[in-house]
């Protein structure tokens, strides 16, 4: 049967795109569909890097940054894309993660640096992330998204009924291709083995670190962990595969003596901030405190919260409401409100000047207007209660967001949080110090549990510290060996 003209045209468009967009993968040497050029990769990285830094902040430790730069430069030079100018960052967040973006940008959180227990573990993960870049996984991910959009547009033209769900379908495709797939992760593991071994490290240590991550996930009840361990090969299978690949690499290259460098790494991270850094703000008894900016406000009971250098988010546990605190531009509350409304594409329905605990403020209600796909009429997609608060030259925006139907129920909670914004004066909150990793040399042989208790670790944190050390509580530790402890 002859294909309909529309379907044939869509197929031809995709075929032409494939023919034009073929490129040789630097790792495999094979041709593959690639709609993102190397120049576009570089531009994407250069554009995204400032946003990553703004979101997470840089961790100010020159010796750790120098170590990462040295190993990263060494590894980049032996990689499949040595011509790239790689950039390495340590970002200031306790989340345990490492990730890469196109163009040669690699990021390690201070949280993952805290959980490595030797240089070889770090080198394996460094090789894994550089492997994503050299194999152009991000570019392939973007290509898949583009091809998915092409297919979606063809379906929307063919079916007016589907067209009304175009926005939601497009968002779904973006989520589908958001993370690297199983094959990409396995390939990155193999490249991590190869690259870290080439610069002289025992790659089997990377497999051991996967166990630390799996234990951390289990301890947090399945909470999210790094992309390179999520939705990918089974951790047990992955552990065995990486060990096997490391053994095979060593056999192929005459079983060279490869480094682990445990003590050197532990001395490197001595003093590293562990967990939340109070100076960036912290939550205690359902109150958010910010010692540096010297303010406080309440959090609705039972709501979940997440802090970052650029904003503080609070969410109703049912997912029906979101409240965000973020800095606002402008010299007055009115200027700030106009800027926020424009940035978020909101239409204000009312506003009024007021004061909140002595701070000049402006309160407004606004809608984010969307088109109803059934009637074609303009309707409110979400409703927002905004509070702009001025503290000297600084302006802050509390933005409470809910669907119009849910808004009346949540508006009082949005208002209570903003009305609770007040000057922070309590000395114990203003002077709160972060916990840090301290490296201790043991005098006596014992098991890890006894060693941690002797260092003042409370019973309820023993398993946490065992995971941090990459050990079990009943593991024997010899006199003279080093362990991590945590204290202020």
Here the tokens at position 487 are 């204290």
483 lies in the same domain as 354: no
Residue 290 lies in a domain: yes
In this structure, the chain runs to a length of: 488
Q: How far apart are CA 359 and CA 293, in angstroms?
A: 14
Q: Where are the alpha helices (DSSP H) in 57-89?
A: 62-78
Q: Is residue 456 over pLDDT 50?
A: yes
Pick the last residue of a domain from 241, 268, 295. Answer: 268
More confident call, 43 vs 350? 350
Pick the last residue of a domain from 244, 268, 292. Answer: 268
- At 139 the pLDDT is 56
Q: How far apart are CA 259 and CA 268, in angstroms?
A: 16
Q: Is residue 311 over pLDDT 60?
A: yes
165 lies in the same domain as 111: yes
Question: Domain holding 412: CATH number?
Answer: 3.40.1000.10
327 lies in the same domain as 263: no
DSSP 143-154: HHHHHHHHHHHH
- At 236 the pLDDT is 63
163 lies in the same domain as 249: yes
- At 210 the pLDDT is 87
The pLDDT of 370-381, averaged and rounded, is: 63
Pick the last residue of a domain from 268, 301, 333. Answer: 268
Residue that has been written with the tokens 């303010």 in this structure: 295
With cut-offs at 50, 70 and 90, classify the pLDDT of residue 19.
very low
424 lies in the same domain as 440: no
Here the tokens at position 397 are 């925006």
Residue 212 lies in a domain: yes
Q: Which range (38-47, 98-107, 174-183, 383-392) has the least confidence?
A: 174-183
- Single out the residue of 21, 4, 39 nearest to residue 150, CA to CA: 21
- At 32 the pLDDT is 58
More confident call, 52 vs 23? 52
Domain that holds residue 93: 38-268
Which of 159-173, 309-323, 452-466 is predicted most confidently?
A: 452-466
Residue 53 lies in a domain: yes
- At 26 the pLDDT is 60
With cut-offs at 50, 70 and 90, classify the pLDDT of residue 231.
very low
Q: Are 133 and 140 in contact (CB under 8 A)?
A: no
SS3 227: helix
pTM of the model: 0.77
407 lies in the same domain as 440: no
172 lies in the same domain as 292: no
Model confidence over 420-445: pLDDT tens digits? 999 999 999 999 999 999 999 999 99
Residue 127 lies in a domain: yes
- At 118 the pLDDT is 98
Which of 17-31, 124-138, 158-172, 389-403 is predicted most confidently?
A: 389-403
Residue that has been written with the tokens 């495709």 in this structure: 173
- At 41 the pLDDT is 80
Q: Is residue 383 over pLDDT 60?
A: yes
Residue 1 lies in a domain: no
Q: Which range (224-233, 247-256, 326-335) has the least confidence?
A: 224-233
For all residues of the chain together, what is the average pLDDT? 83
Model confidence over 182-203: pLDDT tens digits? 777 888 899 999 999 999 999 9
More confident call, 317 vs 371? 317
Residue 19 lies in a domain: no
SS3 404: coil
426 lies in the same domain as 440: no
- At 201 the pLDDT is 98
The Cβ of residue 126 has, within 10 Å, a number of other Cβ atoms equal to 28
The pLDDT of 343-348, averaged and rounded, is: 89
Q: Are 225 and 112 in contact (CB under 8 A)?
A: no
More confident call, 6 vs 99? 99
With cut-offs at 50, 70 and 90, classify the pLDDT of residue 380.
low
The pLDDT of 63-85, averaged and rounded, is: 96
Residue 419 lies in a domain: yes
With cut-offs at 50, 70 and 90, classify the pLDDT of residue 81.
very high
Residue 14 lies in a domain: no
Model confidence over 130-181: pLDDT tens digits? 999 998 766 545 434 333 333 333 332 332 322 232 333 333 333 233 356 6
Here the tokens at position 12 are 């031809």
412 lies in the same domain as 447: no
- At 135 the pLDDT is 86
- Single out the residue of 58, 63, 481 nearest to residue 270, CA to CA: 63
322 lies in the same domain as 207: no
SS3 256: coil
In the chain, the number of structural domains is 3
Q: Are 210 and 233 in contact (CB under 8 A)?
A: no
406 lies in the same domain as 304: yes
**CB-count exposure of residue 165 (10 Å: 0-12, 13-18, 19+):** middle
313 lies in the same domain as 444: no
Q: Is residue 308 over pLDDT 50?
A: yes
């Amino acid at each position: 049967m002859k294909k309909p003209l529309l379907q044939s045209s869509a197929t031809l468009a995709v075929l032409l795109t494939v023919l034009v967009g073929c490129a040789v993968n630097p790792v495999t040497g094979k041709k593959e569909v690639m709609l993102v050029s190397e120049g576009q990769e570089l531009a994407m990285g250069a554009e995204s890097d400032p946003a990553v830094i703004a979101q997470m902040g840089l961790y100010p430790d020159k010796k750790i940054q120098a170590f990462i730069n040295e190993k990263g430069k060494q590894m980049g030079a032996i990689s499949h894309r040595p011509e790239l100018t790689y950039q390495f960052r340590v970002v200031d967040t306790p989340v345990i993660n490492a990730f890469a973006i196109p163009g040669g940008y690699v990021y390690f959180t201070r949280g993952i640096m805290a959980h490595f227990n030797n240089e070889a573990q770090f080198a394996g993960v460094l090789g894994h992330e550089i492997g994503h870049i050299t194999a152009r996984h991000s570019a392939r991910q973007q290509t898949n998204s583009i091809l998915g959009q092409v297919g979606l547009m063809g379906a929307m033209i063919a079916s007016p009924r589907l067209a009304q769900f175009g926005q939601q379908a497009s968002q779904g495709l973006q989520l589908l291709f958001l993370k690297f797939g199983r094959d990409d992760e396995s390939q990155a593991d193999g490249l991590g083995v190869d690259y870290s071994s080439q610069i002289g490290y025992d790659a089997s240590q990377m497999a051991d670190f996967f166990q630390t991550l799996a234990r951390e996930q289990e301890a947090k009840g399945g909470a999210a962990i790094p992309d390179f361990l999520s939705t990918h090969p089974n951790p047990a299978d992955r552990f065995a595969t990486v060990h096997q690949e490391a053994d095979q690499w060593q056999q192929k290259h005459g079983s060279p003596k490869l480094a682990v460098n445990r003590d050197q790494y532990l001395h490197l991270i001595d003093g590293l901030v562990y967990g939340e850094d109070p100076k960036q703000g912290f939550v205690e008894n359902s109150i958010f405190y910010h010692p540096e900016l010297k303010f406080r406000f309440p959090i609705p009971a039972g709501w979940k919260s997440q802090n970052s250098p650029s904003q503080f988010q609070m969410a109703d546990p049912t997912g029906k409401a979101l409240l965000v605190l973020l800095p606002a531009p402008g010299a007055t509350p009115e200027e700030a409100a106009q800027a926020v409304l424009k940035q978020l594409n909101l239409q204000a329905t009312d506003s009024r000047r007021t004061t909140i605990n002595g701070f000049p403020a402006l309160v407004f209600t606004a809608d984010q207007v969307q088109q109803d796909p059934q009637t074609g009429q303009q309707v409110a997609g979400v409703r927002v209660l905004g509070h702009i608060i001025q503290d000297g030259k600084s302006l802050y925006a509390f933005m409470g967001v809910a669907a119009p139907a849910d808004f009346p129920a949540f508006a009082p909670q949005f208002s209570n949080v903003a009305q609770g914004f007040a000057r922070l004066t309590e000395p114990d909150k203003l002077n709160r110090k972060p916990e840090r990793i301290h490296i201790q040399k043991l005098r006596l042989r014992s098991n890890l549990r006894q060693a941690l208790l002797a260092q003042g670790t409370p019973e309820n944190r023993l398993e946490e510290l065992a995971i941090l050390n990459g050990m079990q509580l009943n593991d024997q530790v010899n006199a003279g060996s080093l362990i991590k402890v945590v204290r202020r």
